[in-house]
Amino acid sequence: MNLMNHLIVSSLQFFPKSWMKSFAMRYIAGEKLEDAVRVVKTLNGKNMAGTMDVLGEDIYTKEESLMAVKAGEEVLHSIQENHLNANLSIKLTQFGLKIDEEFCYANVQNLLGIARRHKNFVRIDMEDSSVTRATLNLYERLRSDGFENVGVVIQAYLRRSEKDMKALIERKANVRLVKGIYVDPESVAFKDREEIRKNYLRLLKMLLQARCYVGIATHDDPLIRGAYQYIREMSLQKSDYEFQMLYGVRMGLRDQIIAQGHRMRIYIPFGRHWYSYSIRRFKENPQIARYVLQALFSRNR
């Protein structure tokens, strides 16, 4: 079965881009900012907040990074102008982390300044393990420089995450906790699904006990059940945490969580790099590629 999934991934690049787009746009808001604004307005109307993400990462020129900064600025201004319940999520390699860390820091600092003036928030997303330390260092520096409107992401599949979490707890960090989707070697990452789940719940318990604000980002039923249990045992208020899910994924489960009175935030990617984003995600999680192929053929019968 795994071999079949990998064969599907390797063949996806030969499918017409129009076929891929018809599927990808179930999970991506569109190519333009106005597409994402429209989606956020709809979600806000259903009692959900949004996190807007301009697609793109691994940028290697300053010109491209500055374009990404401008796009981020436009998102923040648009949230303010349209009175949206939403914030901005960014990846540091899009803002120059692999070019020059000082350049990257200045770019993120600029965005945080705009967000602060708008009383908004920016989430620094996490990428593969090669930039974990640099990402956390930049986050720590921003906090030391007085920025409170910034959060970070921790990936439960990484072996180092418990140690990183302890440092973040001291900061009372706002953390989005995810399982993680990147392909890293076993020396740095857990590979067994149950082992990753156990680590996720261990990290979640640490955060909730420390009364850090947590974005419980998962579509995994056992993890959601575990989160419910912790919330009950600790008598947490609905304002102490939120659940987070991807746009277009498990909408029935999403609606159940909302119906039970929990906060819900939807991660909304958009932008012209939708194709490379989709192919990269399929390579990172080949099982999704199998679903893609099934959906494509069912739509074209």
Does the annotation mark 176 as catalytic?
yes
Query: What does the block give as tokens for 188?
Result: 């740095």
Q: Is the CB of residue 259 less than 8 Å from the CB of residue 240?
A: no
Report the alpha-carbon distance of residue 123 to residue 120 in Å, rounded. Answer: 10
- Whole-angstrom Cα distance, residue 194 to residue 203? 14
Q: Catalytic residue among 125, 128, 164, 184, which? A: 125
Q: What is the number of alpha carbons within 13 Å of residue 183 lying toward its C-beta?
A: 7
From 176, 197, 265, 290, the catalytic residue? 176
Query: From CA 203, how far away is CA 248, in angstroms rounded?
Result: 26
Rounded CA gap, 291 and 279, in Å?
13
116 catalytically annotated: no
Decide if 289 contacts 12 (C-beta within 8 A). Answer: yes
DSSP-assigned letter for residue 61: S
Residue found by looking up tokens 């072996």 in the block: 159
Which residues are annotated as catalytic?
Answer: 125, 176
